[in-house]
Amino acid sequence: MRNANQYDIKFSSSLTVQTVSASLSDKYVYNAARVSTLGQGVLEDSGEKKMSGLISYLMKNRHGTPFEHNSITFFISAPIFVFREFMRHRIGFSYNEESGRYRILQPIFYLPDNSRPLVQSGKTGEYIFLEGSKGQTELLKKNLADVSITSYIKYREMLDSGIAREVARMILPINIYSSMYVTCNARSIMSFVSLRTRDDESKFKSFPMEEIDRVGREIEKQWGTHMPITHAAFIKYGRVSP
Amino acid sequence: MRNANQYDIKFSSSLTVQTVSASLSDKYVYNAARVSTLGQGVLEDSGEKKMSGLISYLMKNRHGTPFEHNSITFFISAPIFVFREFMRHRIGFSYNEESGRYRILQPIFYLPDNSRPLVQSGKTGEYIFLEGSKGQTELLKKNLADVSITSYIKYREMLDSGIAREVARMILPINIYSSMYVTCNARSIMSFVSLRTRDDESKFKSFPMEEIDRVGREIEKQWGTHMPITHAAFIKYGRVSP
Amino acid sequence: MRNANQYDIKFSSSLTVQTVSASLSDKYVYNAARVSTLGQGVLEDSGEKKMSGLISYLMKNRHGTPFEHNSITFFISAPIFVFREFMRHRIGFSYNEESGRYRILQPIFYLPDNSRPLVQSGKTGEYIFLEGSKGQTELLKKNLADVSITSYIKYREMLDSGIAREVARMILPINIYSSMYVTCNARSIMSFVSLRTRDDESKFKSFPMEEIDRVGREIEKQWGTHMPITHAAFIKYGRVSP
Amino acid sequence: MRNANQYDIKFSSSLTVQTVSASLSDKYVYNAARVSTLGQGVLEDSGEKKMSGLISYLMKNRHGTPFEHNSITFFISAPIFVFREFMRHRIGFSYNEESGRYRILQPIFYLPDNSRPLVQSGKTGEYIFLEGSKGQTELLKKNLADVSITSYIKYREMLDSGIAREVARMILPINIYSSMYVTCNARSIMSFVSLRTRDDESKFKSFPMEEIDRVGREIEKQWGTHMPITHAAFIKYGRVSP
């Protein structure tokens, strides 16, 4: 008889964002913008002292294209329901995701930790989330664990019987983890982050789901360390994507 | 005590593609292409007799832009695992999908019918699918039904306890149905269809999953009735997107 | 000997924007947005009374995708320097332009009329334009006319000698008219218009060139008549593209 | 009185493509593709011996997305008529071009050298180009030089009179040089190159203008040195963009 231990089924509340490669620099923004006003002259280095002022100007006035001449690739591991929201971002994003048609999916399932607010309040589109009661927390953990384990055991049972991976996987819940490579640039990151993080300083407030907010903040942090001037200007002007 | 009947849980193997609105015509392709050679003159109607020849020429020589000046909106209902593949198409596609954050998801689950081949054979990337045995078919139906029903009951139980929709839905499997509006154009449709339908006459063969192949064929059929000359040229030149 | 009359060289200050076909309606926005909250139910008509409120909500909160399920095709005739700016818009725009490789370009050249301000003042990126003096106006007209006529005569002279169109055209100035088909949607139009029209009510001010501003206003006007609720919401919320 | 010498007007037939920064590697393609089959495991290095086989497989079967996780920025200097064709490429391309609104354009004009074929023969869309006669070559050079010089002198005359740069520039011909930053990735480069270079080994033949063909070949060369395995596979499978 099958059991959960047999498959080493794991539960996790972590969300992984790992920079795989990066070609990012505030200088790239500066140089790209200077092509407009200098043409050929842009290739001669002219010092960095005016960089901050120019980047602020571009951000404030929403000149977006100079922020596109760079790229960063992340490896991201998160549950499918996060990827479903993530992949709605079409422009300036490239994806390669783990495939349930080509491999046996691993038994790792998302289970919110105790800090995850469970109850929504307020009106549509501007929900506030509040802590769950002890009973709600226990019910959630029990139910998620039950279905995760049961579905995975049945998934493997179907694979063992010779049913194809692409068919057997239909049984798996959206809290199963997947992984992907994502490549984007400073402009597409700012667009993503402006919509997928919640921040009281935003000129246009967003109300994203907690889990994608966490992924967004981690992307913002890793990207921001490579482009501190651009990141500071993004915050200064209200987290509006240029 | 909760039970399946209480929620009227349904199983289905159907995939819905419904044209909501369409602004499609072979004539649009013809006129857009004629701007290149006629400029202002394109606004004067010149008869349709050369239309077929010009469209064939564009398709054969992969002049893609004239096929973009049109649009069609579909309402599509299919399980989440189909939408996951569908939404990988970024260019020339607009989406609005039913949200598990804003509404209680309906209890309709995908259960393959008996014609769905269950066993894959052959090498990676070029799988051939064969009919499942009676035992496999029964196992699949039993397992999918069990998990669908159990997960949905637990989903509603969590909602009833006051847990937010966006949290409770994490428990649902990817065979649950969702629905969306998709807007695209003749060029993006041909790109989609060339990758997501399997056809022996294709110059570049694709090996899509059966369910998205069915959706792709239905999209192709409905689109093709509005643009018969373009559709015929697409087939004639090996189903290569221009 | 060649002369201008031989070619019927024309000067114009007009900019043509002509709706060729349109599949636009506020209702499409409403229905696409309702898929999120209604799923299958969206196909049942529920009256229009809530439409205005929902569209306002989408605009204010920058939910952009519901504005993409529609399309409009324009025939535009304008000088090349306008098209150069126009075609920088990549997303949600399809183009087919008259080709100097495939046809002999017609001798129609842009000559600003007297209302066109000629002198710029103020700081970079926020220029104010002022009326030109009589001397400036005359110099501009004389110089533009001279070069337009001379270059066109030499263009045709080269064609007559057997030089290929794609080579001979290199001599033509960027005030020569071209024409194109452009297909876009409500969202891409709002993005274009927010950057390419100057308006004191804009939350983010833009400082476009006069000629593309005129094209932008005409596009906005023709589009707006088909989607009055969306257009009103766009204005109300500061001409920010959702 | 004004004269050409005063402005140091130059003629050139060169086209500059200069790699500014690059984040390119065959390994990135390999790793992105392996996410599909390995998930988390992709982060562990597994040696390169299977890299060539996997990249060939992806190219042959037109799996395009793994070729997007990389980027390269070029500085390009070429006449405006080349940029007009270049910027029709919308997807996977970012641009910043020198602006005639923000700076005085430099007096450098394209003048084809003697190797540039001047006469076209054959049918529409499949032109063959032949060498020009001595008379044609001389006529071209004389006419281009005349208009370039005259228009530039009149351009500066208008600037000197106080007419704004954005207005005065309308007089300049499309053989004037401009410069830009372009950022793209391996997939968008292959799409560009498949359409903008002429090659007898192409599965789908293209008939680009000579000058953009030269730019395309230089882009291909510089990109190819960073991704030799991908480049070889692109050639092997008929220069079809995956």
pLDDT in tens, B73-85: 999 999 999 999 9
* More reliable by pLDDT, A126 or C54: C54
Please tell me the distance in Å from D108's CA to the nearest CA on chain A: 11
Please tell me the distance in Å from B71's CA to the nearest CA on chain A: 18
Rounded CA-CA distance A200/D95 in Å is 33
Residues of chain D with a CB closer than 8 angstroms to some CB in chain A? 18, 20-23, 28, 31-33, 35-40, 42-43, 65-66, 68-71, 73, 75, 77, 94-99, 102-103, 105-106, 178-181, 183, 185
pLDDT at D4: 66
pLDDT band at D116 (very low <50, low <70, confident <90, very high): very high
Q: What is the pLDDT of residues A62-104, one digit of tens each?
A: 999 999 999 999 999 999 999 999 999 999 999 999 999 999 9
Q: Cα Rg for chain B, rounded, in angstroms?
A: 22
- Dig out the tokens for D190 from the structure: 């292959």
pLDDT above 70 as % of chain A: 93
DSSP state string for B19-37: EEEEE--HHHHHHHHHHHH
Contact partners for chain B, using 3 or more CB pairs closer than 8 A, are A, C, D
Q: For C28-57, what is the mean pLDDT?
A: 82
Residue C47 has pLDDT above 90, yes or no: no
Query: Poorest-confidence range of B37-41, B225-229, C22-26?
Result: B37-41
Residue C1 has pLDDT above 80, yes or no: no
ipTM score assigned to the predicted complex: 0.94
Residue A1 has pLDDT above 60, yes or no: no
Q: Tell me the torsion sign for CA atoms B166, B168, B173, B177.
A: negative
pLDDT at C227: 98
pLDDT at D231: 98
- Within 13 Å of residue D185, how many CA atoms lie on the same side as its CB? 28
Q: For A156-177, what is the mean pLDDT?
A: 98
Q: Are C138 and C119 in contact (CB under 8 A)?
A: no
Question: Pick from D88, D125, D205: which is nearest to B57 by CB?
Answer: D125
Q: Are A145 and A151 in contact (CB under 8 A)?
A: no
Question: How many of the other CB atoms lie within 10 Å of CB of C214?
Answer: 20
CA distances in angstroms from B15 to A64, B110, B113, C154, listed in the order given: 40, 9, 12, 63
Q: For D169-185, what is the mean pLDDT?
A: 98
pLDDT at B18: 98
pLDDT at C126: 75
Q: What is the pLDDT of residues A44-64, one digit of tens each?
A: 655 666 899 999 999 999 999
Residue type, A101: R
CA distances in angstroms from B8 to A115, B34, D98, D110, listed in the order given: 34, 56, 64, 74
pLDDT at A50: 84
Residue C4 has pLDDT above 80, yes or no: no
Rounded CA-CA distance C27/C48 in Å is 8
Residue B109 has pLDDT above 70, yes or no: yes
Q: For D105-112, what is the mean pLDDT?
A: 98
pLDDT band at D128 (very low <50, low <70, confident <90, very high): confident
> What are the start-end ranges of the H helices in D74-227?
80-86, 134-160, 165-168, 186-196, 210-226
pLDDT band at A209 (very low <50, low <70, confident <90, very high): very high
The mean pLDDT of chain B is: 94
Residue D1 has pLDDT above 60, yes or no: no
Cross-strand pairs, A62: none
Q: For A23-50, what is the mean pLDDT?
A: 82
Across the interface, do D61 and B204 touch by the CB < 8 Å criterion? yes
Inter-residue long-range contacts of B234-239, CB under 8 Å, 24+ positions, other chains counted: B234/B59, B234/B190, B234/B193, B235/B201, B236/B56, B236/B59, B237/B56, B237/B59, B237/B60, B237/B203, B238/B201, B238/B202, B238/B203, B238/B204, B239/B190, B239/B193, B239/B194, B239/B197, B239/B199, B239/B201, B239/B202, B239/B203, B239/B204
Angle at the Cα of A173 (from A172 to A177), degrees rounded to 5?
90
Residue C39 has pLDDT above 80, yes or no: no
Question: How many of the other CB atoms lie within 10 Å of CB of D135?
Answer: 10
Rounded CA-CA distance B184/B173 in Å is 28
Q: For D97-105, what is the mean pLDDT?
A: 95
Question: How many of the other CB atoms lie within 10 Å of CB of D14?
Answer: 11
pLDDT band at C48 (very low <50, low <70, confident <90, very high): low
pLDDT at A40: 66
CA distances in angstroms from D43 to A79, A181, B9, D53, D218, listed in the order given: 18, 10, 42, 19, 34
Beta strand ranges found along chain A (DSSP E): 10-12, 16-23, 71-79, 93-97, 108-110, 119-121, 128-130, 177-184
pLDDT above 90 as % of chain D: 88
pLDDT at B127: 80
pLDDT at C81: 98
Q: Which of B83, B85, B67 is nearest to B184 (CA)?
A: B67
Q: How would you class A128 by CB atoms within 10 Å of its CB: exposed for 0-12, middle for 13-18, buried for 19 or more?
A: exposed
Residue D43 has pLDDT above 80, yes or no: no
Residue C143 has pLDDT above 80, yes or no: yes
What is the rounded end-to-end Cα distance, in angstroms, of chain C?
A: 58
Residue C127 has pLDDT above 90, yes or no: no
What is the rounded end-to-end Cα distance, in angstroms, of chain A?
A: 58
pLDDT band at C37 (very low <50, low <70, confident <90, very high): confident
Residue type, B71: S
Q: What is the pLDDT of residues D161-175, one digit of tens each?
A: 999 999 999 999 999
Q: Are A7 and A67 in contact (CB under 8 A)?
A: no
Residue D152 has pLDDT above 90, yes or no: yes
Tokens 């209680």 belong to residue:
B104
pLDDT above 70 as % of chain C: 93
Rounded CA-CA distance D174/D155 in Å is 14
pLDDT at B4: 66
Rounded CA-CA distance C165/C73 in Å is 28
Tokens 């926005």 belong to residue:
C29
The side-by-side arrangement of strands in the sheet containing D93-97 is: D16-23, D71-79, D177-184, D93-97
Residues of chain A with a CB closer than 8 angstroms to some CB in chain C? 57, 61-62, 65, 88, 91, 125, 195, 204-205
Question: Pick from D100, D102, D171: which is nearest to C124 by CB?
Answer: D102
pLDDT at A4: 66
Angle at the Cα of B211 (from B207 to B217), degrees rounded to 5?
80
Q: Are A117 and A131 in contact (CB under 8 A)?
A: yes
Q: What is the pLDDT of residues C7-19, one digit of tens each?
A: 999 999 999 999 9
Q: What is the pLDDT of residues D192-222, one digit of tens each?
A: 999 999 999 999 999 999 999 999 999 999 9
Q: Are D98 and D180 in contact (CB under 8 A)?
A: yes
The mean pLDDT of chain C is: 94
Q: Are D160 and D54 in contact (CB under 8 A)?
A: no
Q: For A39-45, what is the mean pLDDT?
A: 66
Q: For C71-93, what is the mean pLDDT?
A: 98
pLDDT at B96: 98
Across the interface, do C175 and D170 touch by the CB < 8 Å criterion? yes
Rounded CA-CA distance A9/A187 in Å is 39
- B-C Cβ pairs (cutoff 8 Å, strict): 128
Across the interface, do B28 and C185 touch by the CB < 8 Å criterion? no
User: Is residue D88 annotated as a catalytic residue, yes or no?
Assistant: no
> What are the start-end ranges of the H helices in chain C?
4-7, 26-38, 51-60, 80-86, 134-160, 165-168, 186-196, 210-226, 228-236
Q: Which of B194, B159, B224, B183 is nearest to B96 (CA)?
A: B183
Q: Which residues of B touch D204 (CB under 8 A)?
A: 61-62
pLDDT above 90 as % of chain C: 88
Residues of chain B with a CB closer than 8 angstroms to some CB in chain C? 18, 20-23, 28, 31-33, 35-40, 42-43, 65-66, 68-71, 73, 75, 77, 94-99, 102-103, 105-106, 178-181, 183, 185
pLDDT at C42: 67
Q: Which of B19, B13, B6 is nearest to B218 (CA)?
A: B19
Across the interface, do D195 and B62 touch by the CB < 8 Å criterion? yes
Longest dimension (CA), chain C: 74
* More reliable by pLDDT, D14 or D122: D14
Beta strand ranges found along chain D (DSSP E): 10-12, 16-23, 71-79, 93-97, 108-110, 119-121, 128-130, 177-184
Q: For B106-113, what is the mean pLDDT?
A: 97
Angle at the Cα of D140 (from D136 to D142), degrees rounded to 5?
115
Tokens 């098209």 belong to residue:
C83
Q: How would you class B145 by CB atoms within 10 Å of its CB: exposed for 0-12, middle for 13-18, buried for 19 or more?
A: middle
Query: Poorest-confidence range of B44-48, B184-188, D88-92, D97-101?
Result: B44-48
Q: For D13-18, what is the mean pLDDT?
A: 98
Within its chain, how far is the Cα of A8 from the centroid?
Answer: 27
pTM: 0.96
